[in-house]
Amino acid sequence: MTYISNEQLDTFHHIYRINLINSCSGYKSANLLGTKSEHGIENVAVFSSVTHIGSNPPLLGFICRPTTVMRHTYENIKSTGFYTINHIHEDILKDAHHTSAKYDSDISEFDKTGLLSEYKNEFQAPFVKNTPLQIAMEFVEEYHIKANDTLLVIGKILGLHVDDSFITDDGFIDLVKANVATINGLDGYAVPKTNERFGYQRPQ
Amino acid sequence: MTYISNEQLDTFHHIYRINLINSCSGYKSANLLGTKSEHGIENVAVFSSVTHIGSNPPLLGFICRPTTVMRHTYENIKSTGFYTINHIHEDILKDAHHTSAKYDSDISEFDKTGLLSEYKNEFQAPFVKNTPLQIAMEFVEEYHIKANDTLLVIGKILGLHVDDSFITDDGFIDLVKANVATINGLDGYAVPKTNERFGYQRPQ
């Protein structure tokens, strides 16, 4: 195995460096965050940092990098209080990834891709149509991460739209059955085809 | 599609609820965190919340739930300042998942599984031998998440041990080539076999 030290990282081309560090944490969640601005412009953007924070209350977090296009998502969440999380699946990989392009805030990614918005239960933020799992979220709180000037944004799950056939008897949502994707690095997408469950573990 | 509201979640059996909420964010990273206590006891524990925080400086975070077995990992990180992140791969799924069992702090999971510790470059925390990617980490800072009394623990990458054959010309670490696993919910593991890269996107 090769050893790459922090000091060596500093000598790499910046593209090489960001690819390496973005791949090294392992597979990431592949989600589209849907928002609507105060002026009624819909926004949809790919995020790979959505993380489970806790089940009771049901909380999810994501990391927001102030210098990226995802800033529109953050601004809309802060001004309206609501957003949606939609799972990227096998059939929309290319369109989902294209939402990472830096469009101006008056342009909706729904108009620049084949992705379609839909509204449900009078929730004000747009869901992404035909995604296997759609979550209605409400902003709760944020933390400024001093080490690199990013934000951890935490939201509460208000409700989930999910196809019953993906849920097993004990509440497990089978992402393989739903053809959900996972992200490797900045631009790699994989769709796992098999899985295995090992159950709750006790000391032996 | 079925709609499950937050109010309905409260009526579910707690096992059903935690399975559902733990699965609903999408695929998660599958890592073993290696630490050593002040008394020299090695600890290794599975985590599914390791998240990329930023590339420059190279930072990774994870969520620590005070009430779980993972608390030993947290205590060791706080008392020593160092830990390792090791990728779970196809050949160690069962042993890796077993580290979630609640062992007492004087027992090492390395003694209760087939996982082997190894030491490199005089780094004081144990790596997990034969894992395809091993990261030496130093504690940087932590944030107390008020919404559910958990902690976001942030560390800096000091160095990576990785097989050259997994890294492409532009620095991308191909997790498919490395047979790295991803976690679905609390106890589901998948090992993706194919992936696709879509490149950097510009407005069109």
pLDDT of residue B65: 82
- Average pLDDT value over all residues in chain B: 95
- Calculate how close chain A gets to B77, using CA atoms only, in Å: 18
pLDDT of residue A65: 82
CB A83 within 8 A of CB A34: yes
Return d(Cα A74, Cα B99) in angstroms, integer: 37
User: Who among B23, B161, B172 is closest to A19 (CB)?
Assistant: B172
- Does residue A57 have a cis bond before it (omega within 30 degrees)? yes
Disruptive mutation site among A3, A6, A16, A27 for chain B (greatest number of B CBs within 10 Å): A27
Residue B130 has pLDDT above 60, yes or no: yes
CATH 2.30.110.10 applies to domain B27-190: yes
Residue A70 has pLDDT above 70, yes or no: no
Disruptive mutation site among B8, B9, B16, B27 for chain A (greatest number of A CBs within 10 Å): B27
- Calculate how close chain B gets to A38, using CA atoms only, in Å: 23
With pLDDT > 70 as the criterion, what percentage of chain A qualifies? 98
- Calculate how close chain A gets to B38, using CA atoms only, in Å: 23
Question: Which pTM was predicted?
Answer: 0.97
Q: Which of A1-10, A31-40, B64-73, B96-105 has the lowest mean pLDDT?
A: B64-73
Q: Where are the domains of chain A?
A: 26-190
- B-chain residue closest to A27, CA distance: B29
pLDDT band at B60, cuts 50/70/90?
Answer: very high
pLDDT of residue A48: 98
CB B110 within 8 A of CB B116: yes
What one-letter code names the amino acid at A153? V
**Max CA separation in chain A (angstroms):** 59
pLDDT of residue B114: 97
User: Could you tell me which of A163, A139, A166 has the C-alpha nearest to residue A153?
Assistant: A139
ipTM over 0.90: yes
pLDDT band at A20, cuts 50/70/90?
Answer: very high
Top CATH class, A26-190: mainly beta
Return d(Cα A181, Cα A29) in angstroms, integer: 8
Angle at A154 between CA A199 and CA B6, to 5 degrees: 65
Q: Return the C-alpha torsion angle B123, B126, B132, B136, nearest 10.
A: -40
CA dist A201 → A73, A204, B96, B102, B200 (Å) = 39, 9, 11, 8, 42
Q: Could you tell me if B53 lies within 8 Å of chain A, comparing CB atoms?
A: yes
Q: Could you tell me if A201 lies within 8 Å of chain B, comparing CB atoms?
A: yes
pLDDT of residue A67: 59
Residue B69 has pLDDT above 70, yes or no: no
Cβ of B171 and A97 within 8 Å?
no
Residue B79 has pLDDT above 90, yes or no: yes
Q: Return the C-alpha torsion angle B140, B184, A46, A58, nearest 10.
A: -70
Q: Could you tell me if B151 lies within 8 Å of chain A, comparing CB atoms?
A: no
pLDDT band at B71, cuts 50/70/90?
Answer: confident
* Residues sharing a CB contact under 8 Å with residue B43, sequence separation 6 or more, in sequence order: B34, B35, B36, B37, B72, B73, B76, B105, B108, B109
Residue B67 has pLDDT above 70, yes or no: no
Indicate the helix (H) or strand (E) that contains A141.
strand A133-145
CB A172 within 8 A of CB B19: yes
- Average pLDDT value over all residues in chain A: 95
Cβ of A176 and B189 within 8 Å?
no
- A-chain residue closest to B30, CA distance: A26
Give pLDDT tens digits for B140-198.
999 999 999 999 999 999 999 999 999 999 999 999 999 999 999 999 999 999 999 99
Give pLDDT tens digits for A172-196.
999 999 999 999 999 999 999 999 9
CA atoms within 13 A of residue A120's CA, in its CB half-sphere:
23
* The two three-digit tokens of residue A200, written as one number: 């709750």
Give pLDDT tens digits for A24-41.
999 999 999 999 999 999
Residue B83 has pLDDT above 60, yes or no: yes
Length of chain A: 204
Give pLDDT tens digits for B31-55.
999 999 999 999 999 999 999 999 9
Cβ neighbours around B42 below 10 Å, total:
17
Residue A161 has pLDDT above 80, yes or no: yes
Residues in chain B within 8 Å Cβ distance of A86? none
CB B135 within 8 A of CB A20: no
Return d(Cα B133, Cα B127) in angstroms, integer: 10
pLDDT band at A105, cuts 50/70/90?
Answer: confident
Give pLDDT tens digits for A75-98.
999 999 999 999 999 999 999 999
Q: Could you tell me if A115 lies within 8 Å of chain B, comparing CB atoms?
A: no
Cβ of A4 and B162 within 8 Å?
yes
Indicate the helix (H) or strand (E) that contains B11.
none
CA dist B180 → A17, A61, B55, B100, B122 (Å) = 21, 24, 21, 18, 26
Q: Could you tell me if A20 lies within 8 Å of chain B, comparing CB atoms?
A: yes
* The two three-digit tokens of residue A84, written as one number: 């949606």
